Structure 1
Amino acid sequence: MLNIDENLLRFIDFTAIVREAWQAYDDTRTIIRIVDISAKVSTNHVYRVTFEDNSFIIAKLSYYGQFEHFEQDHTIIDVMSNNLPAPFENLLARSLMKGNKLFIYRYQNDIIDAWVVFYRPIQIKKRAPRRLDDEQIEKFAEQLALFHKACFNIRKTLPKSSKSFKTDILTLLDYLETDDGRYEHRMHEKVIREQCNLLLQQFEIFRYSGIERIPVFVDWNIGNFSITSSFRLFSRWDYDWFRMSTRMMDFYFLSRVVSNVGDRTAFSYYIGPLMEDRFIRFLKAYHAVYPLTSMEIVFLKEVYRFFILNYVVKDGRYFFHEMFAGKLQREAFEIYLPSIEKEFKADKLLKALNL
């Protein structure tokens, strides 16, 4: 678990790190401007780097998590960007190589361990509407089914990933054994342990069900992808939560995209969207293209539990800005985790899919 003094971060010139990274990559091209184009909701930094000839690239700087995971994830994504078949061959941004290897710059001092990767600019078409109509929900479902099928087909060509459901949850449990962990979660340690142990038990059952790991991006909010006028997936960016896992990891955010209130920038992670009729419409259209199994549907509950434990409880204060992290963690214990057993009804989804 990475510990960073947020007060000391204020004294770090992140653009200087990006310049240093570019010097290490190619010192023959001079940077004239670096503009922060970050979404301002997370601790990651994204920059538009412009050169003397007015060409530009995108730089991403991150300092949460582990460098090894950052390197693995971006290596896998880079192979994906080359191996995905049509119509997804240009869906992902390609990272810059140096020689025959993906270029990742690691900057370390007494305050921070930060990593920079450069992307070629990606084309963007239309943003999906904040609230989809019924036809758009079905088209979106068909596109995600086709994309997941393409990811499944190339899964054996991708580099290995050491990050998994189990390793992330064990990392959280290990953190609870430290002084920092006991202090941060002193009010909720018992609940966290109970939820982690329950998830690990269910994971063992699911692990032997034969479900394959494929590349998933998890965070499918409408600010992370673009579509064509016919609602085909055109481009996808923001790979902060990328992992190799069950395809079901994508479905909580997909339920938010198609929810009745629509996708929005307000940060709340209620379980409700998974139970909406609109999500059932999405599941039916997806299932018609790339059939789901009853085990996968049942495991959606654990996927949601994992999302709250991993991305809100474990990594929330590192990934989200402070103004969001505190609110989300309070809601995790007061609302999100208690709602799982009360509100998730697998039978409703299974019946709708005739499973």
Structure 2
Amino acid sequence: MNYSSIIKKAWNGYDSSKVIKRVEDISAMVSTNHVFRITFEDEDIIIAKMSTYGKYEHFKEDHRIIHSLSNNLLYPFENLVARSLLKNNRVYTYRYKWRKNDAWVVFYNPVRVNKRLPRRLEEDQIKQLGQQMAKFHKACFRINNVLPKSSKTLGTDIRILIERLEKQPEDFGTPEQVVMLRQHCDDFLKNRAKYNAKGSLGSIPVFLDWNIGNFSVDRHLNLYSRWDYDWFRMSSRILDFYFLSRVVSDAGDRTVFSYVIGPMMEDRFIIFLKEYHKTYPIKAEEIYFLKDAYRFFILNYVIKDGKYFFSEQYAKKLQIEALEIYLPSIATEFDAEKLLNALEIPIPTSRLATV
């Protein structure tokens, strides 16, 4: 696809009177999604995001929710999330379809970037991040009732994977690996229903991918701006925690990455959780659900959609590791009771988690 041409067509549908001077691809080149900086003849600048995976309806729905979130968040997060451009009082999106090509575009006002966290955090920085994430999640929860509803759920995504496993098992490895994947799907659905039996997990806007290249902080380490909404969804706040464990991990941010479960068992993540828990208490059900939030991430974003989202070299690497390392490690390496004891949360007499 000619990305520049598609961007120009998308802009002409928005405001043909304002002429584009230059379109620059500023993507991180890890995923198949693209981000562009658009400079106009009058030197104004906006950002365009183009996506080609998933469903256009979900893309449009997500950005409608994100825009509502950005407008309704109160101080100190009122400028944290980038605002989409509106036309006729609605988030403007453009769909390009030609033969087998299908791409979607949304425009943003540029987000201000302050400081980036260091690749490896010190203990006081971990504590501050824990406080900030707790405050941000609480702010999202407070405005939850005024946000548009989402049709996308964890259950619908996993059931799509189950359907693919049944119809195209050859796409997912050996017969033994397909059986393993189906078992993990069943375990996820069963555990999610168990932990959320009384609505214990809740639902707020979550961005999932909190690597240090996706947000900035001010000089006091307060959250300043957040961008990259590829994995945005309405779901449990616990879905954000795996990537946050990676941010605070002993290894720190890496150029070549894997998705091992280990960071969630590190003492450094416990420091983060303790600080978070002081501001926005975590329930026992949510701690047990951590392993299934991780399981969902691997099943959905690596196994189901990896080849559509990641560049080819990363998709193949991560999918092999998912089958051989990530999924098998859930039963052997995750210890919810270690986290519960550290947070001084009583362990339920009828144990919630067995799978």
Distance in 2 (CA, whole Å) between partners of 1:135 and 1:177 is: 49
Q: Secondary structure at the match of 1:215?
A: strand
Instruction: State the Cα distance separating 1:204 from its structure 2 match.
Output: 1.0
Instruction: State the Cα distance separating 1:191 from its structure 2 match.
Output: 1.1
Distance in 1 (CA, whole Å) between partners of 2:241 and 2:195 is: 16
1:58 and 1:121 in contact (8 A); partners too = yes
CA-to-aligned-CA distance 1:54-112 (integer Å, 9 cap, x gap): 11100000010011111111000000000001000000100000011110001111121
Distance in 2 (CA, whole Å) between partners of 1:101 and 1:174 is: 34
1:267 and 1:328 in contact (8 A); partners too = no
Distance in 2 (CA, whole Å) between partners of 1:90 and 1:237 is: 11
Distance in 1 (CA, whole Å) between partners of 2:292 and 2:63 is: 26
Asked if 1:155 corresponds to 2:144, the answer is yes
Distance in 2 (CA, whole Å) between partners of 1:314 and 1:14 is: 25
1:269 and 1:336 in contact (8 A); partners too = yes
2:228 matched residue in structure 1: 238
Greater Cα shift, 182-191 or 85-94:
182-191
Asked if 1:133 corresponds to 2:125, the answer is no
Distance in 2 (CA, whole Å) between partners of 1:264 and 1:71 is: 32
Asked if 1:334 corresponds to 2:321, the answer is no
1:5 matched residue in structure 2: none
Distance in 1 (CA, whole Å) between partners of 2:219 and 2:256 is: 26
How much identity, in percent, do the aligned residues show? 57
1:37 and 1:48 in contact (8 A); partners too = yes
Q: Secondary structure at the match of 1:35?
A: strand
2:22 matched residue in structure 1: 33
Residue correspondences, number = 342
Distance in 2 (CA, whole Å) between partners of 1:132 and 1:186 is: 38
1:266 matched residue in structure 2: 256
Q: Secondary structure at the match of 2:94?
A: strand
CA-to-aligned-CA distance 1:217-249 (integer Å, 9 cap, x gap): 000000000000110000000000000000000
CA-to-aligned-CA distance 1:249-289 (integer Å, 9 cap, x gap): 00000000000011223220000000000000000000001
Distance in 2 (CA, whole Å) between partners of 1:239 and 1:148 is: 16
Structure 2 residue identity aligned to 1:112: N
Distance in 1 (CA, whole Å) between partners of 2:198 and 2:55 is: 30
1:24 matched residue in structure 2: 13
Structure 2 gap ranges (5+): 346-355
Instruction: State the Cα distance separating 1:186 from its structure 2 match.
Output: 4.0
Instruction: State the Cα distance separating 1:176 from its structure 2 match.
Output: 1.8
1:301 matched residue in structure 2: 291
Structure 2 residue identity aligned to 1:132: L
1:209 and 1:295 in contact (8 A); partners too = no
Distance in 2 (CA, whole Å) between partners of 1:269 and 1:118 is: 31
1:286 matched residue in structure 2: 276
TM-score between the two structures when normalised by the length of structure 1: 0.95
2:190 matched residue in structure 1: 201
Q: Secondary structure at the match of 1:41?
A: coil
2:242 matched residue in structure 1: 252
- Displacement over 4 Å in runs of 4+: none
Distance in 2 (CA, whole Å) between partners of 1:163 and 1:264 is: 31
User: What's the C-alpha RMSD, in Å, of the aligned pairs?
Assistant: 0.8
Instruction: State the Cα distance separating 1:113 from its structure 2 match.
Output: 1.3
Distance in 2 (CA, whole Å) between partners of 1:67 and 1:273 is: 34
Distance in 2 (CA, whole Å) between partners of 1:289 and 1:301 is: 22
1:3 matched residue in structure 2: none
Distance in 2 (CA, whole Å) between partners of 1:153 and 1:207 is: 20
1:185 matched residue in structure 2: 172
Instruction: State the Cα distance separating 1:182 from its structure 2 match.
Output: 2.1
CA-to-aligned-CA distance 1:6-31 (integer Å, 9 cap, x gap): xxxxxx10111100000000000110
Instruction: State the Cα distance separating 1:206 from its structure 2 match.
Output: 2.0
2:49 matched residue in structure 1: 60
Distance in 2 (CA, whole Å) between partners of 1:108 and 1:183 is: 29
Distance in 1 (CA, whole Å) between partners of 2:218 and 2:262 is: 29
Q: Secondary structure at the match of 1:223?
A: coil
Structure 1 gap ranges (5+): 1-11
1:15 matched residue in structure 2: 4
